[in-house]
Structure 1
Amino acid sequence: MGFTGYRVAVTGAGRGLGRALAISLGREGAEVFLSARSFGAAETVAQEVRHAGGRAHAFECDLADTESVREFAEAVGEVSDSVDVLVNNGAPYLDSGGFLEASDEDIAATVAAGATGTVLVTKALLPLLTRSARPDIVTLISGCGEYGNHRSTAHEAFYAAKSAQAGFTEVLSKRLRPQGVRVISLYPPDFDDVDPLTAEWERPREAADALSARSVVDCVRFAIAQPRDCFIKSFYFEQA
C-alpha cells in the first residue's frame, strides 16, 4: 500500500476534508492520529479507518484552547515516538452574514482556532516531526489566504485567520527546510462540498466542472508521496 509505515496527524478530522484524508491515507497503510473538538466525532472517523483496514487513534483537541492543544500533542507522543506528516486542517468556517452581525465570541474563536491554533499545534508536534526521516507539514489554507482574494462569502474574521496561516507557513517553510521539513500549503477556493470519498463518476453532473474536495485530498496525497528532493511548496487553484 502506498502509505504503509507513514504516521499522520490530522486536525479537524471529524468531518469533511479531515475525515476524507484520514480514511484515504489509512486504507493505504498509514497510521493516523485524528483530532476533533469532539472526541466522539474523532472516534467515529477512527472506526471508519479501522473498518477500511487502517490503524487509527482518536483524540479530543480544541484548537482555540492552548491546554487542549498541549494535551493532544502529549497524547500522540505517548502512542508514537515520531510523526511523519502533520495536516493542519482544523479551522472553523464563519459565514459572512455581515461584518457587524457576527458575535465577538464567534470572531475570536475563528481567529483563535484557525490562526493561533495552527501555530500552536505545529509547535507542539514539531519535536515528533523532526524525529522522522520524511517530515511534512501540510496546511489547508484556502483561497481566503491569498493576497487580494475577495471572492469568498466567508466572514472577514475567517479571511484574517487564513491570511495568518499563509504568513505563518511562508516563513516556516524557509526556516524548516534546512532541517529537511517540507511545508506544503494549499489554497483552494470555496469548492463543491460533496463527499470527498464519492467516486468521480458518482458526483452530480452540475458539479462536474467545480473543484471537488476529493481533488484537494488527491493533491495532498500526491505532494507527500514525492521523493524528498521534490518539494511542492504550494497548490493554487483557479476559481470556478
Structure 2
Amino acid sequence: MNLAQKTVVVTGAGRGFGRALALEAGRSGARVFLSARTLAAAQGVADEVAADSGAEAEAFACDLADPSTVRAFAEGVAARTDRVDVLINNGARYLEGPDLWDADDDAITDTIASGAAGTLLTVKHFLSLLRTSEGADVVNLISSAAEAQNHRSQAHPAFYAAKAAQAGFADVLSHRLRPEGIRVISLYPPDFTDGDPLHSTWEHTSRTADDPLTAQSVLECVLFAIGQPRDCFIRSFHFEQV
C-alpha cells in the first residue's frame, strides 16, 4: 500500500508487532511517529525505520498507563505536524496468569490503565490532528480475549478486562466519528507470531490452516482496511480459531 505523504502514529512500537507496523509504514512512504515506554526503545526502532526505508521517523517516550506522558506524546507530535492520517493503537500491557492471584495489584492496575484508559486518552489527545486529515483512520489492535465467551487465552483476567473495555470504546467511537468521515477499525486476533513480517523466512503461499496466525496476516488486514475507498468502513476483523 502507498502511504506517501501520509502521517502515521504507532503506539507500543518499541518491539514486536508495533515495530513491524512502524517498519511497514516507513516502507510504504509514510512519515512515522512512534512511541514506546522508554525513549531508548522507541529511538532504536525509529533508527531502524530510517535505515530500512529512508522514511522520516521520530521517537517519543509514552507510558500509556500515565496520562501525562500520553498528553506529552500528542503535544510533541502536534509540534511537528498539522495532521495525523493513521493512528494505530497497538500499545497495551500483556499480563499472563489465569488466576487473580497470579499478579499483584500494581500489575493489574497498570494492565487495565494501559489497555483501556491508555487507548481512550491517546485518541482523545490526537483527535484534533485526526480531524485535520482529509481521511483519517484509527486502528485498534484489540484481542480475541475481548470476544464474548472466548476463554482460550491464558492471559490474566485483568488483560481480559482491559481488552473488553477497549472494544467497547472502539465500538462507540466508530459510531460517533463516522459522520466526520473518520474510520475506526478494530482487530481481534488470537495469539500470533510476532516480529518483522516482511523479513520472515516463510513463503506466504506455503501457509495452511494448520499453521499459527502470523504477524504478516494481521498486518495485511490493517493495510487492506486503511487502503479502501473512503465510502468503505470496515469496523472489525475477527479470526477463526481452532
**Residue pair 1:194, 1:212 contacting (<8 A) in 2 also:** no
Distance between the aligned counterparts of 1:192 and 1:49, measured in 2? 21
Q: Among 211, 233, 236, which residue is 2:238 paired with?
A: 236
Number of aligned residue pairs: 240
Distance between the aligned counterparts of 1:115 and 1:152, measured in 2? 18
Give secondary structure in 2 for the equivalent of 1:12: coil
Distance between the aligned counterparts of 2:209 and 2:38, measured in 1? 31
Residue 208 of structure 1 and its aligned partner are, at CA, apart by 6.5
TM-score (norm 1): 0.95
Task: Provide the residue aligned with 2:41 in structure 1.
Answer: 41
Provide structure 2 residue ranges, at least 5 long, that are not aligned to the other structure: none
**Residue pair 1:134, 1:180 contacting (<8 A) in 2 also:** yes
- Between 88-97 and 199-208, the greater mean CA deviation after superposition: 199-208
Give secondary structure in 2 for the equivalent of 1:201: coil
Letter aligned with residue 219 of structure 1: C
Q: 1:194/1:47 Cα in 2 relative to 1: closer, same or farther (>3 Å)?
A: closer
Provide structure 1 residue ranges, at least 5 long, that are not aligned to the other structure: none
Q: How does 1:159-238 map to 2 (within 5 A)?
A: 159-193=160-194, 195-199=196-200, 201=202, 209-238=211-240
Residue 206 of structure 1 and its aligned partner are, at CA, apart by 9.9
Q: How does 1:59-208 map to 2 (within 5 A)?
A: 59-96=60-97, 98-193=99-194, 195-199=196-200, 201=202
**Residues 135-174 of structure 1 deviation map (CA, whole Å, 9 limit, x = unaligned):** 1000000101111111111100000000001000000000
Residue 99 of structure 1 and its aligned partner are, at CA, apart by 1.6
Distance between the aligned counterparts of 1:205 and 1:77, measured in 2? 41
TM-score (norm 2): 0.94
Distance between the aligned counterparts of 2:166 and 2:124, measured in 1? 13
Letter aligned with residue 164 of structure 1: A
Give secondary structure in 1 for the equivalent of 2:140: strand
- Between 63-72 and 206-215, the greater mean CA deviation after superposition: 206-215
